[in-house]
Amino acid sequence: MKILVTNDDGYRAKGIHTLVNILKPYGEITVVAPKYIQSGTSMGVTMGYKPIAVRKLSSKPGESWYYLDGTPASCVKFGIGELFADHLPDVIVSGINHGGNYATAALYSGTLGAAMEGALVRVPSIAVSLDSLDADADFSVVERYFPALFEQIMSHLPDRFGLVYNLNFPAIAPEEVKGLRIPGQGVIRWVREYAPYDPGIYERKGFSPRALGIQGPPEPEPEESLYMMGGTVVKDPANLDDSDVELIAKGYITLTAHSILTTDRQEQDRLRALGMERFLQEA
């Protein structure tokens, strides 16, 4: 099996190294990961004739590492368009993300965006996240349960376009996991996300500005400099008890099936029933 691995936390992150170690028994691994942290980039790509740095970091039998100075989706584009130009990989696995990618967070996620890029070219794609933002997070729960889940997904792939499998693990000990659930996507939002820029935040969070691709201090006044810190999570009252955001909090692993095809069929039918397609002809 040929496996393309990426993430949105950068090639140095503990999560991606843990993922590669988990996947080694399953086949030949090629890693193309961002040079810098690219969280929140969704399916955005680095384009517009901007120079994109790429570097082959290492290569040994069954395992090759590259970084690309671009978004996670760009890493997948480079991987499938250059390194796998003659034969697509058998699967793309994105992660292990430091932080949960359930509910509305999935819409922003670079981890999910990379997997969506794979689904666009009909490669089975799996996003893997741990609900902890700790740079030195304990990934033992993923190490314990992901191999069996990976085998099940790969053994029962449907012949459908655009599927992305989104696996989220609670940040708890393996023996505390209550089980696996296959939920719908919940809804959350954030408030008070921005704070005045503080250069000391990087040391307190355990990483350097360079890891984010920050080359210098913010512009001087009259601009006001802020940083986005995550904010307070507000759950939507429409969330069901079996939505991903609720189940993660209860100690379940969640496997949510997403599609890159976002047409709302119910609304499509309603608009047609209103006669909207005839509107301009009759106006």
For 273, which DSSP code? Answer: H
Q: Which of 74-78, 150-154, 191-195 has the lowest mean pLDDT?
A: 191-195
Q: How far is CA 158 from the centre of its chain?
A: 22
Number of CB atoms found within 10 A of residue 104's CB: 17
pLDDT band of residue 198 (cuts 50, 70, 90) is: confident
Residues 202-225 have pLDDT tens digits of 777 776 777 667 666 666 666 776
pLDDT band of residue 194 (cuts 50, 70, 90) is: confident
Average pLDDT, the chain: 90
Which residues touch 106 (CB under 8 Å, ≥6 apart)? 112, 166, 185, 256, 258
Residues 55-96 have pLDDT tens digits of 999 999 999 999 999 999 999 999 999 999 999 999 999 999
Higher pLDDT, 31 or 188: 31
Residues 154-165 have pLDDT tens digits of 999 999 999 999
**Selection from 203, 198, 207 nearest residue 229 by Cα:** 198
Number of CB atoms found within 10 A of residue 207's CB: 17
Which residues touch 149 (CB under 8 Å, ≥6 apart)? 167, 180, 253, 255
pLDDT value at residue 182: 93
Show me where the domains of the chain are located.
2-187+239-270, 194-228
pLDDT band of residue 190 (cuts 50, 70, 90) is: low
Q: Token pair 């919940």 is at which residue?
A: 186
Distances (CA, A) of 1 to 4, 60, 151, 163, 207: 10, 16, 12, 19, 34
* Per-residue buried b or exposed e for 185-195, using 16+ beta carbons within 10 Å of the residue's own CB: bbebeeeeeee
pLDDT value at residue 199: 77
pLDDT value at residue 220: 63
Which residues touch 181 (CB under 8 Å, ≥6 apart)? 242, 247, 252, 253, 254, 255
Beta strand 91-98 with 63-68 is unpaired
What is 2-187+239-270's CATH number? 3.40.1210.10
pLDDT value at residue 217: 66
Please, is 58 exposed, middle or buried when counting C-beta atoms within 10 Å of its C-beta (0-12, 13-18, 19+)? exposed
Stretch 133-147: mean pLDDT: 96
pLDDT value at residue 56: 96
Higher pLDDT, 21 or 47: 21
Stretch 37-61: mean pLDDT: 91
What's the half-sphere exposure (Cβ side, CA atoms, 13 Å) at 14?
16
3-state secondary structure of 155: helix
Q: Which of 84-88, 117-121, 195-199 has the lowest mean pLDDT?
A: 195-199
